[in-house]
Chain A
Amino acid sequence: MKPGAPPEPVVRLQGVGQTYRAVAALQEITLDIPSGCVVGLIGPDGVGKSSLLSLVAGSRVIQRGSITVLGGDMADAAHRQRTCPRIAYMPQGLGKNLYPSLSVFDNVDFFGRLFGLGRQERERRIGALLDSTGLAPFADRRVADLSGGMKQKLGLCCALIHDPDLLILDEPTTGIDPLSRKQFWGLIERIRANRDGMSVIVATAYMEEAARFDWLVALDAGRVLATGTPGELLARTGAADLDAAFIALLPAGASQGHEAVVRTARLPVADGEPAIEADHLTKRFGDFTAVDDVSFRIARGEIFGFLGSNGCGKTTTMKMLTGLLAASAGRVRLFGREVDPRDIQIRHRVGYMSQAFSLYSELTVRQNLELHARLFALPETGIPARITEVARQFGLIGQMDALPGELSLGIRQRLSLAVAMIHSPEILILDEPTSGVDPVTRDNFWRILIELSRRDGVTIFVSTHFMNEAERCDRVSLMHAGKVLVSDTPEAIMASRSAPTLEAAFIRYLEVAAGGTTRSVTPAPLRVGDSRRAEESATRLLFDPRRMLAYTKRESVELLRDPIRATLATIGSLLLMFVIGYGINMDVENLSFAVLDHDDTVISRDYALQLSGSRYFTERPPLTGYADMDRRMERGEISLALEIPPDFARNLSHGREVAVGAWIDGAMPTRAETIRGYVEGMHSTWLVQKARETYGKAADQRDFQLEIRYRYNPDVRSLDAMAPAIIPMLLLMIPAMLAVLSVVREKELGSITNFYVTPVTRMEFLLGKQIPYVALGMLNFLLLTAFAVYGFQVPFTGGFATFAAAAFLYVVIATSMGFFLSTFMRSQIAAIFATVLLTMIPASQYSGMIDPVSSLQGAGAFIGKIYPATYFMMISRGVFSKALGFQDLWGAFIPLLITVPVVIGLSVAFLRKQAR
């Protein structure tokens, strides 16, 4: 930008409004955000900061008003596609947009690929980013094993991998330790120094951070309260610091009752037994020691602060205190009793709040509170009053019927706190309870903690990154790399390092502990020009293979990191084929029958012998009468009862008409049909035989011969017919299931945001994800075919190339069907269920596996005709049994060829590129 020119606003909002269910998150916001500077969004929790940022980033659909970002309308998809490479967006929450099973490096690398960076460029940038955030030593660690703060840092690295013109950070330093925060802002400064005119918009709860920003927007209740430089805001309100300034800006009422938090003296402790006692506590994960020989004793009623850099073992220690994790060595005692996960009584006395939100997002705030109150066995009559009490304490009254997902991070934290305290526990173990909570609420919250400790003698073990909170504790411990560095009163710690503030004291401790490893990072100069050109050329493309391959690579790495999934998908399907192939047998044998022989002559016994002598039937003890027949048929003991009438032999020899009765159990029609066929066959054979005996040779001469040729399967082996039919079923279900979950999982766990805000197109997203699953499907295909041929010895008579080509089309369809389903699903449960319902049932019932499609009727016949498995089944049977090649089977290829673009097209059409 030319110096001196009036700066064009980078973001311009006009009359923007956003409503979720009945709650208005943003109301009539009209605002110009100046470019080229760091703009802070400040305000209490739930005022719409995050909503505003997600709209500006283009990740959500704008409901009302217009938003212009970097000179274009964000409601316009083409503009979004053009500008999103110039925007970087880091959503709120501890690494919600990251992939937990991938390593730190792979995650950043993935984002680099999405933005079309070349390999060298990527590696250089990743190196620089990981170095400057202190993540370099953990480059190979899985994200799932990172601490909350480290995930947050990684999220930043991912946002910064391409040089954006507009950087949008939603509470980026929530849960990050002071040292890392310092490093982080240093990093942003350096990037800004390298990239002239970059604009940064930050939502933050840290007012001391906001004080350093160029320009601030104060929000409250979905409206803009004030804008201006920090100096202007201070001047306007006449306040000494921003905290006070913000409180002064609030409309009267909202700020009422706010006063400074004062730590009062502790109650005299009568009982000398400590509330919490950790004795040489150690926790190892494999060869990594997360907590190393930690000991402390906390007296009743004490507020004990737990501080330390990210990933130093605070959360692990707290989980051991609650019994969620078993210690590798050492002991924990609560109230003198060793922690035992089976000890239910102790849990009534402890309240725990975990770092990540762990309440039910499907239950409303009130329902969550009620559930926990009841599970803690509070007296039913007292519950409503208690809920109202905590809701008032934590400012949740207005949100009682909202779902947690609709609430901001800060309000969710309050809810978690309220839940941890609902049963008035004697010990509170709180893991970063105030991360992401606004200053006013934090102060209120501390007032409650101090009151609980002083008035009720509640012991509080709390971890925090806020130094003003640490100062309110009776004692604090500082942890680093699994060890406790120091444990004392805040005053003593400051004195020991002769530091003016607690923060300074800690940074000194940490720097000493880190020793030589503290690097003053010299950031690699970012050659802006090069990458800019590369990015622009990439965005002009409607379809960029590099972005597509980014998803391919990520998905493949995820598959490879999860060998159980890949094994289940391949070996599992072989196992299934084996079981089904052997299990399904159309050749019914061992049918049980019994005879009710009223005649009991040589002739009648000879008739029955026809059946009992055949391999199809097994004879059971004879029937004694009709009652016996009824009883045994009802029980399913016999499936056929033969009744030979009295005087059978005599009537027969006199040439009088006689009839043998056969009762078949019709409960299972297929079996009954088979029995009927067998019995009819035996009957006529017997007749011919008898006729020959009776009438001599004349009857030997048959009128005509019926020669039956079982084609394609002359031995009529069940397996030869079934194996080619099982392949289509398995090849549909497994790839479809993997594909549907790969998308719905991202939706459910939050990483879908990356698709919303990066330049990747819908087609690139889907095809990229599809490639590894198609590859896996083809591997599966080869294994299944090989197993059928070599394992089951099913003759393969047709063209293999034809079969492979059809299998390829079919697997593409199967995965696309998965993607199509995924566009309607939000939860993985529903996705699994829908996939089973819509693949297993049509493939096994309507696609000709057992009954030919031409014989189906009604809706089933329709499904069978349009279902791709039908056609692949035809091809499979053609090449296995019928010795057919492409020239015979091309007709069955056509429906497959039509289905591919239709299903992919539908998936792309229904896939949303923005959240609603």
Chain B
Amino acid sequence: MRLANIFQLGVKELRVLLRNVTLLLLIAYSFSLQVYTASRALPETLNRAPIAIVDEDRSAISDRIASAFYLPYFVEPKLISQSEMDSRMDEGLDTFALDIPPNFQRDLLAGRSPTIQLNIDATRMTQAFAGGGYVQSIVSGQVSEFLAHHRAETQLPVGLDLRARFNPELNKSWFGAVNELIEAITMLSVILTGAALIREREHGTIEQLLVMPVTAFEIMVGKLWSMGLVVLVAATFCLIVIVQGLLAVPIHGSLLLFLAAAALDIFAMTCLGMFLATVAGSMPQFALLVMMVLIPLQLLSGGVTPRESMPEIIRIIMFAAPTTHFVMLSQAVLFRGAGITVVWPQLVALLAIGVALFTLSLNRFREMSG
């Protein structure tokens, strides 16, 4: 093994990349605009939730309930008729429809315990789960307040003091920005390295390399360091300029620790890209394989939905994915301000997965190159 060869082969990769202006623009886009837009687009779980009210009572209490739904959690409630309710929900115009029955106020004051119906579009999972509780507590609150004016309360004086740590306002865009950054890192590491190898094969340049005094190991490491460096530089830029700067996400932990972990993650992901390239026979096959791998990585590594809610088997499988550990680590470091004493298991896992993938793809590559 000669370090000079590894260096030269990497420089060659960088030069090739520099010629591909479209690709450079796409890289720039995915680490800037893409992260920015996605982070800004992400709503709070309850943001502008569409709600409609069928007010068959038209009383003081029903007015009171209607006026309790306001931005940013809810769009201003549409007052609709009973007959409109079904079609509006079918069209997906409303997530919630509250039906206040006739004589609600009268029955309420008379202590007859009348029933309000809340219809929830359960196809909208996020809003349906979190929003149902909100609507319930808003309505209860309004009713209690209304009743407090009319009769004495009998309630236990126990308050619940709920506080969210690390992100007190549960600002989704913080999390979204970092998530988007991880996504871009994953995507780019896999595609850049893998496609670079297939490209050499499709253009015959690998043949020229293989008759020269360079080993498969050198060729592979040359690709890994150069493409990895591109991703790492782009990620650092994105974290400092876009995430911390433009999006003003407060970072609690050590940036250096995060970037070190990012480097390990990039190492593992570039090796994965290499491996896929040795499995795929052509660029279209590679592209499909990439999707087979990227989609689960995006959706199941704990960035979109919490790992706790996944079935055991998926959790076990995803434990072998570098992104899972990287997502865990980045949440701990960036938001909870965790240090190396806390996240070392993730670092070890990333390294172990990276080394395993590296060995695997190096063996495949050696076999391939005879």
Residues of B within 8 A of A827 (CB): 20, 22-23, 199
Q: Which of A342, A357, A372, A703 contacts B212 (CB 8 A)?
A: A372
Residues of A within 8 A of B143 (CB): 703-704
- The answer, yes or no, to whether B156 is at the interface (CB within 8 Å) is yes
Closest chain-B Cβ to A745's Cβ sits at a distance in Å of: 6
Q: How many residues of A contact B (CB 8 A)?
A: 163
Q: Which of B15, B211, B284 contacts A324 (CB 8 A)?
A: B211
Contact with B along A589-603 (1 / 0, CB 8 A): 111100000000000
Residues of A within 8 A of B162 (CB): 662, 664, 676, 679-680
Residues of B within 8 A of A783 (CB): none
- The answer, yes or no, to whether A352 is at the interface (CB within 8 Å) is yes
Contacts of B210-266 to chain A: CB distance below 8 A: 210-215
- Is B338 a contact partner of A579 (Cβ separation < 8 A)? no
Residues of A within 8 A of B11 (CB): 371
Given contacts A579-B300, A830-B23, A860-B38, contact A664 B163 (CB under 8 A): yes
Q: Which of A350, A668, A680, A708 contacts B120 (CB 8 A)?
A: A708
- Is A710 a contact partner of B116 (Cβ separation < 8 A)? no
Closest chain-A Cβ to B87's Cβ sits at a distance in Å of: 8
- The answer, yes or no, to whether B63 is at the interface (CB within 8 Å) is no
Closest chain-A Cβ to B75's Cβ sits at a distance in Å of: 8
In this complex, what residue of A is CB-closest to B168?
Answer: A666
- The answer, yes or no, to whether B295 is at the interface (CB within 8 Å) is yes
- The answer, yes or no, to whether B42 is at the interface (CB within 8 Å) is yes
- The answer, yes or no, to whether B60 is at the interface (CB within 8 Å) is no
Given contacts A371-B8, A575-B292, A691-B156, contact A587 B165 (CB under 8 A): no
Closest chain-B Cβ to A794's Cβ sits at a distance in Å of: 11
- The answer, yes or no, to whether A385 is at the interface (CB within 8 Å) is no
- Is A749 a contact partner of B213 (Cβ separation < 8 A)? no
In the docked arrangement, what's the CA distance between A371 and B172, Å? Answer: 48
Interface pick from A444-452, A539-547, A881-889: A881-889
Residues of A within 8 A of B119 (CB): 709, 711
- Is B207 a contact partner of A721 (Cβ separation < 8 A)? no
Given contacts A671-B308, A681-B133, contact A718 B287 (CB under 8 A): no
Contacts of B147-193 to chain A: CB distance below 8 A: 147, 154-168, 170-172, 174-175, 183, 187-188, 191-192
- Is A860 a contact partner of B40 (Cβ separation < 8 A)? yes
- Is A362 a contact partner of B20 (Cβ separation < 8 A)? yes
Closest chain-B Cβ to A209's Cβ sits at a distance in Å of: 28
- The answer, yes or no, to whether B80 is at the interface (CB within 8 Å) is no
Closest chain-B Cβ to A334's Cβ sits at a distance in Å of: 12
- Is A587 a contact partner of B204 (Cβ separation < 8 A)? no
- Is B158 a contact partner of A666 (Cβ separation < 8 A)? no
- Is A667 a contact partner of B175 (Cβ separation < 8 A)? yes
- The answer, yes or no, to whether A840 is at the interface (CB within 8 Å) is yes
Q: Which of B2, B170, B314 contacts A666 (CB 8 A)?
A: B170
Given contacts A664-B164, A705-B114, A829-B191, contact A855 B123 (CB under 8 A): no
In the docked arrangement, what's the CA distance between A830 and B20, Å? Answer: 8
In the docked arrangement, what's the CA distance between A687 and B46, Å? Answer: 26
Q: Which of A669, A679, A733 has the largest number of chain B CB atoms within 10 A?
A: A669
Contacts of A698-729 to chain B: CB distance below 8 A: 698-699, 701-714, 716, 718, 720-722, 724, 729
In the docked arrangement, what's the CA distance between A576 and B308, Å? Answer: 20
Residues of A within 8 A of B298 (CB): 840, 844
In the docked arrangement, what's the CA distance between A122 and B256, Å? Answer: 67
- Is A585 a contact partner of B305 (Cβ separation < 8 A)? yes
- The answer, yes or no, to whether B30 is at the interface (CB within 8 Å) is yes
In the docked arrangement, what's the CA distance between A376 and B336, Å? Answer: 51
Closest chain-B Cβ to A159's Cβ sits at a distance in Å of: 24
- Is B283 a contact partner of A741 (Cβ separation < 8 A)? yes
Q: Which of A326, A712, A829 contacts B192 (CB 8 A)?
A: A829
- Is B167 a contact partner of A672 (Cβ separation < 8 A)? yes
Closest chain-A Cβ to B129's Cβ sits at a distance in Å of: 6
In the docked arrangement, what's the CA distance between A742 and B318, Å? Answer: 32
- Is A850 a contact partner of B304 (Cβ separation < 8 A)? yes
In this complex, what residue of B is CB-closest to A661?
Answer: B161
In the docked arrangement, what's the CA distance between A247 and B27, Å? Answer: 51
- Is B41 a contact partner of A857 (Cβ separation < 8 A)? yes
In the docked arrangement, what's the CA distance between A824 and B12, Å? Answer: 25
Interface range on chain B (Cβ under 8 Å from partner): 35 or more
- Is A361 a contact partner of B203 (Cβ separation < 8 A)? yes
Residues of A within 8 A of B83 (CB): none
- Is A572 a contact partner of B292 (Cβ separation < 8 A)? yes
In the docked arrangement, what's the CA distance between A841 and B176, Å? Answer: 13
Contact with B along A819-862 (1 / 0, CB 8 A): 00000111111101111110011001110101110111111110
- The answer, yes or no, to whether B363 is at the interface (CB within 8 Å) is no
- The answer, yes or no, to whether A583 is at the interface (CB within 8 Å) is yes
Given contacts A586-B309, A851-B42, contact A636 B156 (CB under 8 A): no
In the docked arrangement, what's the CA distance between A635 and B196, Å? Answer: 38
Contacts of B322-368 to chain A: CB distance below 8 A: 328, 331-332, 335-338, 342
- The answer, yes or no, to whether B118 is at the interface (CB within 8 Å) is yes
- Is A568 a contact partner of B285 (Cβ separation < 8 A)? yes
Given contacts A676-B162, A683-B160, A704-B113, contact A323 B288 (CB under 8 A): no
Closest chain-A Cβ to B127's Cβ sits at a distance in Å of: 6
- Is B132 a contact partner of A708 (Cβ separation < 8 A)? yes
- Is B175 a contact partner of A669 (Cβ separation < 8 A)? yes
Q: Which of B130, B143, B305 has the largest number of chain A CB atoms within 10 A?
A: B305
Contact with A along B35-53 (1 / 0, CB 8 A): 0011011111111111000
Residues of A within 8 A of B137 (CB): 680, 684
Q: Which of B175, B198, B204, B212 contacts A375 (CB 8 A)?
A: B212
Given contacts A665-B166, A840-B295, contact A565 B116 (CB under 8 A): no
Closest chain-B Cβ to A420's Cβ sits at a distance in Å of: 9
- Is B308 a contact partner of A857 (Cβ separation < 8 A)? no
Residues of B within 8 A of A859 (CB): 37, 40-41
- The answer, yes or no, to whether A374 is at the interface (CB within 8 Å) is yes
- The answer, yes or no, to whether A582 is at the interface (CB within 8 Å) is yes
Closest chain-B Cβ to A26's Cβ sits at a distance in Å of: 25
Interface pick from A131-139, A270-278, A651-659, A803-811: A651-659
Closest chain-A Cβ to B148's Cβ sits at a distance in Å of: 11
Contacts of B192-209 to chain A: CB distance below 8 A: 192, 195-196, 198-199, 202-205, 207-209
- The answer, yes or no, to whether B115 is at the interface (CB within 8 Å) is yes
Q: Which of A354, A668, A703, A825 contacts B204 (CB 8 A)?
A: A354
In this complex, what residue of A is CB-closest to B173?
Answer: A669
Q: Which of A360, A679, A724, A737 has the largest number of chain B CB atoms within 10 A?
A: A360
- The answer, yes or no, to whether A690 is at the interface (CB within 8 Å) is yes
Q: Can you offer 12 A-B residue contacts whose CB atoms are under 8 A? A: A377-B2, A565-B285, A583-B305, A666-B164, A687-B155, A701-B111, A716-B129, A721-B124, A828-B198, A851-B42, A858-B41, A881-B123
Nearest 7 pairs of A and B residues by beta carbon? A860-B41, A666-B167, A666-B164, A713-B122, A586-B125, A358-B204, A659-B159
Please report B residues at the A interface, Cβ cutoff 8 Å.
2, 4-5, 8-9, 11-12, 15-16, 19-20, 22-23, 26-27, 29-30, 34, 37-38, 40-50, 75, 87, 89-92, 95, 104, 108, 111, 113-130, 132-134, 136-137, 139-140, 143-144, 147, 154-168, 170-172, 174-175, 183, 187-188, 191-192, 195-196, 198-199, 202-205, 207-215, 281-292, 294-296, 298-300, 302, 304-306, 308-311, 313-314, 318, 328, 331-332, 335-338, 342, 369-370
| Known contacts A711-B122, A721-B128, then 18 further A-B pairs from the complex at CB < 8 Å, ordered by chain A residue | A322-B211, A344-B215, A362-B16, A362-B19, A564-B285, A568-B292, A569-B288, A588-B305, A659-B160, A668-B331, A705-B113, A708-B132, A716-B122, A737-B284, A738-B288, A851-B42, A852-B127, A858-B40
